[in-house]
Amino acid sequence: MNDDRAPLLEVRGLTTEFVSERTGVRRVVRAVDGVSFDIGCGEVLALAGESGSGKSVTALSVLRLVPPPGRIVSGSIRFEGRDLLTLDEGDLRRVRGARIGFVFQEPMTALNPVFTVGDQIAEALEVHGAARGAAARARAVELLDMVRIPEPARRARDFPHQLSGGMRQRVLIAAAMACRPPLVMADEPTTALDATIQADILDLLVAMRRELGLSLLLITHDLGIVARVADRVAVMYAGRIVETGPAPGVLAFPRHPYTRGLLASLPGRVPGTRLEAIPGAVPDLAALPPGCAFAPRCPDRFDACDGSRPDAYAVSPGHTARCFLHGGAAR
């Protein structure tokens, strides 16, 4: 990202909570906790971490699509110079789809089973005034061709259940790209696909990024995908970003113990050895420890870790880690 250009998307201090009450007990789950990040024009940022770390809720918060009882309680989300948290619903609808595309995690549930895939893409064009009627349907066929679906004119008349998982994912990508938005957010776009189809989908996203000059927020638990696609990575744990920086640097020299644990658990790192795992379990987000949320599972834990939350310490240019190992705290 060029430092002399304003970020396309600038998120600062984003906090999203889910509140529930059962048998008179109020429970507050802070799914996103003070998250900040930027995405530059033409840049790919990956949000990485285990399931339940807050990645998907972060993306939904950007578009104010957090389902009840979730709510954004603080922060700012500036996109193309405007704070999305201050827009009324009408203005926000003009941003969703037209300026920010979203590729949802489950293509079978994200697509409407009673409409053809061509009609669903055409609807995205019509809603935002990009094309109407026959022109929208023709453009839908062009978009299916763009995402490399064979026989696009025929496939446009198919219903979602008639397509394979990989084709349904391509349809979602086509719909997200319909209005040529400058930013696309893709939530686990290769989940439940076999390795060959995963590679095809990743190649497609890279090609779309290059051909259309778009920016991409990629949500994934797979650091192999991060290495292949991302310019920068933000690693999330328990709703917080614990390490962020250029993807090659973070993956080659991880500085937070959680990032090191994720990398060590990747299969195939050392042939013939047992797969490593991070000990313990993800903490209850409604009852986080007072210090570092990762401390109960951390092999490098010491006294400072239990007392307060670590700041983001610079470990190299553009690379930070929220860990007292890099903050000069005395052991």
Q: Which amino acid is at 280?
A: G
Cβ(37)–Cβ(77) below 8 Å:
no
Answer with the one of 145, 180, 215 that is the final residue of a domain: 180
Which pLDDT belongs to residue 96? 94
Same domain for 282 and 187, yes or no, is yes
Give residue-wise pLDDT tens across range 143-184. 999 999 999 999 999 999 999 989 999 999 999 999 999 999
> What is the domain extent for residue 166?
107-180
Which pLDDT belongs to residue 25? 83
Mean pLDDT of 304-324: 94
C-alpha–C-alpha distance, residues 146 and 281, integer Å = 42
Is the pLDDT at 331 greater than 90, yes or no?
no
Measured distance between the N- and C-terminal CA atoms of the chain, rounded to whole angstroms: 37
In a domain, 2, yes or no: no
Same domain for 82 and 138, yes or no, is no
Same domain for 120 and 54, yes or no, is no
E-assigned strand segments in 182-284: 183-187, 215-220, 232-237, 240-246
Answer with the one of 124, 152, 180 that is the final residue of a domain: 180
In a domain, 129, yes or no: yes
In a domain, 80, yes or no: yes
In a domain, 211, yes or no: yes
Q: Say which CATH number the domain at 222 has.
A: 3.40.50.300
Residues in Cβ contact with 38 at an 8 Å cutoff, skipping those fewer than 6 apart: 1, 7, 9, 10, 11, 45
Single pTM value for the model: 0.92
Give residue-wise pLDDT tens across range 95-148. 999 999 999 887 778 899 999 999 999 999 999 888 899 999 999 999 999 999
Is the pLDDT at 1 greater than 70, yes or no?
no
Is the pLDDT at 285 greater than 60, yes or no?
yes
Is the pLDDT at 4 greater than 60, yes or no?
no
